[in-house]
Structure 1
Amino acid sequence: MAVSTSTTTLPLLFLHRSTASPNPTALSFASPLRASPLRSRASASASAAPPAETLADDLPSDTPPVGEGSGIPMPSSIGEDGEELAPKQKIRIKLRSYWVPLIEDSCKQIIEAAKTTNAKTMGPVPLPTKKRIYCVLNSPHVHKDSRFHFEIRTHQRLIDIMYPTAQTIDSLMQLQLPAGVDVEVKL
């Protein structure tokens, strides 16, 4: 017994907002899909329904226009809020060290110095550890398969200081950090 299957491609249904009414609840079907022969029952019931413009007129007038009270920010308000949220000036400190306890102590010193001057700190954020592996031959002539592998791990931390003052910068300049910590400061 052979079963034949026929495949038909159905058009995708797309909803779009009606251009006549700014209300987001008034939706209508896209124009090429209104008279689709595949949806005879749906098109018959859609033709009996009133147009979308009359539905939008029946709604109460206290619904806000799109963007005002709907939670969707308008493009003009994004720039204003972005300036308030982003700090005008920040200090980014990047620390590098081969030894983890040394870099952790340095981070604590920097954060304490910033907090005593009422500056907001973010971090320390641990960045990925960089591993440099060196391969050295054990014997230069006969035993080429015998090799030593040495690696150096560089641990990194990132600290951001928001809204620094002159006192914050002075307290950071007076810190005595260990010699095994590389400090990179960006304003």
Structure 2
Amino acid sequence: MAVSTSASSTLPLLSLHRAAGNPNPAALSFPPPLRAPPLRSRAAAAAASAAPAAETIPDMPEETEGTGIPMPSSIGDDGEQLAPKQKIRIKLRSYWVPLIEDSCKKIIEAAKTTNAKTMGPVPLPTKRRVYCVLNSPHVHKDSRFHFEIRTHQRLIDIMYPTAQTIDSLMQLQLPAGVDVEVKL
């Protein structure tokens, strides 16, 4: 007994065949391209993964072909070259945008004079804190005031800082309305 799809469809669909009239559902067989590979034991899977990757995937380009993309096995070897050895991350917070923009300009100027590479300022999402205050405590409880405080944030990264860069950043006079957080 065979279960199949209609012959008028253009797409090849799965057809199930029962083995010699056996009503056992475990005896169903699939066509060879759709058949799952047999399950292997852990020891066999470990032996197969120990085989070289070039034999299992023949179309994979080699590192020496000049693709410019490092292979996954080589990322751990040259990982130190991909990321800088040291960077300074400066996070600025302020309630007033002109103050924070002025502070960003001062920090970037100080870093550029010492030939350090800067990235930023990157505007981070503005945080809004809304406070709801009752207008009248008794009769008019539905009458309320809403006050909000917006905290603007900027992020600046300084790559490859030198001792002169750190000294020039320490000498900066930033306004009192700007919160500065420095991470090395």
TM-score range normalised by the length of the shorter chain: 0.5 to 0.7
Give RMSD over aligned pairs.
2.7
State the SS of the aligned residue for 1:179.
Answer: coil
Q: How far apart in 1 are the matches of 2:66 and 2:98?
A: 50
Matches within 5 A, 1:29-178: 32-33=32-33, 66-68=61-63, 69=65, 71=67, 73-178=70-175
Q: How far apart in 2 are the matches of 1:73 and 1:67?
A: 9
* 1:67/1:73 contact within 8 Å kept: no
Q: How far apart in 1 are the matches of 2:70 and 2:158?
A: 29
Distance 1:143 1:158, change over 3 A: same
TM-score normalised per structure 1: 0.66
Deviations 1:26-79, CA, capped at 9 Å, x for gaps = xxxxx9329xxxxxxxxxxxxxxxxxxxxxxxxxxxxx9832317353233223
Q: How far apart in 1 are the matches of 2:164 and 2:72?
A: 38
Give the gaps of 5 or more residues in structure 2.
Answer: 16-30, 35-58
AA aligned to 1:159 is I
Identity among equivalent pairs (%): 86
AA aligned to 2:144 is R
Give the gaps of 5 or more residues in structure 1.
Answer: 12-30, 35-63
Q: How far apart in 2 are the matches of 1:70 and 1:113?
A: 39
TM-score normalised per structure 2: 0.67
The count of residues paired between Structure 1 and Structure 2 equals: 136
Deviations 1:105-157, CA, capped at 9 Å, x for gaps = 00000000000000000000000000000000000111001100000000000
